[in-house]
A = this chain, B = another copy of it.
């Protein structure tokens, strides 16, 4: 009553910081849990158990497991977007862009990687739940490629298929990279870039 009066006049004090901290704690725990158990197998209980918080508190921040997932993905998007933009801006041509983008992606992937993630063949019937980060970059990459084609920086190939090919390839090579010890971003980028750029020339034009 006496000392706390500040709380009412400065609403951006302890209270706000505690709120942000709780939200972060949940996100952090969710990331770890998703990585360990896979998205579908994870439960809200698993997530809150990974924090110091009580179960009910979860619902003050997120309405469901999906919402946490999406917050995580948004997070990933927010953090990856500048990297991709830099790749585009710094690149001299499309080839350079692809190289830089792949390097950015594999770097990002390694940075985001949580140990304990189920790398590929783990739980019995294998389910690859794309990490939130993966999901986030998906749209970004696709837009970049389409834009390049529109601007005439890339040959007029089937943009949909090319996007899928890049994404699919990067996804699986990324997984393979993470399984290696240590993961070598340079090596993975070089491999993927060579494959895409070498193939690009041979692709049927639209």
Contacts and interface: CB of A to CB of B under 8 A. Distances in A.
Interface of A: 38-41, 65-66, 69-70, 73, 124-130, 132, 134-135, 138, 157-158, 160-162, 164-165, 167-173, 175-176, 187-188, 190-192, 194-204
A144 to B, nearest CB: 16
B160 A164 contact: no
Contact of A165 (B135, B164, B172): B172
Nearest to A157: B191
Contact of A195 (B41, B171, B188, B195): B195
B199 A176 contact: no
A172 B164 CA distance: 5
Contact of A194 (B39, B173, B202): B202
6 contacts: A65-B125, A73-B125, A125-B129, A158-B191, A165-B173, A198-B201
Contact of A198 (B70, B171, B200): B200
* Highest count of chain B CB atoms <10 Å: which of A69, A132, A173: A173
A194 B155 CA distance: 14
A87 to B, nearest CB: 20
A195 B155 CA distance: 13
Contacts of A173: 161, 164-165, 168
Given A40-B38, A126-B130, A128-B130, A176 B161 contact: yes
A77 to B, nearest CB: 13
Contacts of A168: 168-173
Given A125-B132, A191-B204, 5 more contacts: A70-B125, A126-B135, A128-B129, A168-B170, A199-B199
B194 A176 contact: no
